[in-house]
Amino acid sequence: MLFDFWKASEASEEETKEAYARALAQLEEAEFKSTLNQPEDELPAVLQINSGAGGTESQDWAEMLARMYRMYGEKQGWSVTELDWQDGDGAGVKSATLQFDGPFAYGFLKAESGVHRLVRISPFDSNARRHTSFASVYVYPLVDDSIEVAVSPADLEWEFYRSGGKGGQNVNKVETAVRLKHIPSGIIVECQKARTQGENREMALQMLKSRLYEEEMRRREAVKNAANASKKKIEWGSQIRSYVFHPYKMIKDHRTDYEVGNVQPVMDGELDGFVKAYLMMEKEINS
């Protein structure tokens, strides 16, 4: 009888702990979601990866990042679409552009803009030496009709070329791919998603408007930050994260100091810890 009472008390204590843990997790989730409070946070995201200097090394790194983000998007339940893919010289990619459609895609992925650094033993070096590679990631919201962005046709420079990338024998033999330059800003976007030039033109123009919208948001944010010197400033284009595979294993975000020692899950798209740490930091900075 006493034993049964002890078991019942133990179960009750365990249930209380579980209920407390669930309540704490719900509070943390609510606090985290409160960071996604900008109108553009709910929009689809366009993520562009560009390999840095270093040829095959950095191009392979850029492709590794593209795989990582694709897997992250799929884990979130988002639709991931390849808008542009420029193969590297022998391996990897020179640049890749992916579109993510799903709830708060831009709100989450905006944490990834910046330069990503890889340190590893190169699989391309016959002497098995350690190499450092860089790739830049740029994320911007894909604006819709609810956001007005004026672009003058006179400011646009169009170029058309044959689609490349992962097409094999099915690569288009006509100039359906589009490269669009905005002359005043120097911004260039490329699109070879669709089979027709007209569809790619339409998508490229939407991508350009999205880039211009993002540039304006960044300009306003810079003005706001300059008005308060005590706020931590995150420079666009700065090195935000290091991925070290040798001589030890660690991935560290230099903005938040969040780090993990198990690198493979991150490379397989487990980015939630890094994203949440960044968004919570931004909330503190802007509060």
127/253 Cα distance (integer angstroms): 30
CA gap 49, 63 in Å, rounded = 8
pLDDT digits (tens, 9 = 90+) for 10-50: 557 777 777 766 766 666 666 666 778 888 899 999 999 99
Lowest mean pLDDT among 8-17, 80-89, 203-212: 8-17
What share of the chain has pLDDT > 70, as a percent? Answer: 81
Q: What is the pLDDT of residue 5?
A: 45
pLDDT tens profile 157-182: 999 988 765 443 344 557 889 999 99
pLDDT of residue 193: 86
pLDDT of residue 92: 94
DSSP characters over 54-108 = STHHHHHHHHHHHHHHHHHHHHTT-EEEEEEEEE-SSSSEEEEEEEEESTTHHHH
pLDDT, tens only, 84-102: 999 998 889 999 999 999 9
Looking only at the bridges linking them, the beta strands covering 114-121 and 239-244 are: parallel
The answer to whether the beta carbons of residues 100 and 80 sit under 8 Å apart is yes
- pLDDT class of 251 with cuts at 50, 70, 90: very high
Nearest Cα residue to 128 out of 246, 244, 243? 246
Q: Write out the E strands in the chain.
A: 45-51, 79-87, 93-101, 114-121, 130-141, 156-161, 177-182, 187-191, 239-244, 250-253, 259-260
pTM over the 0.85 mark = no
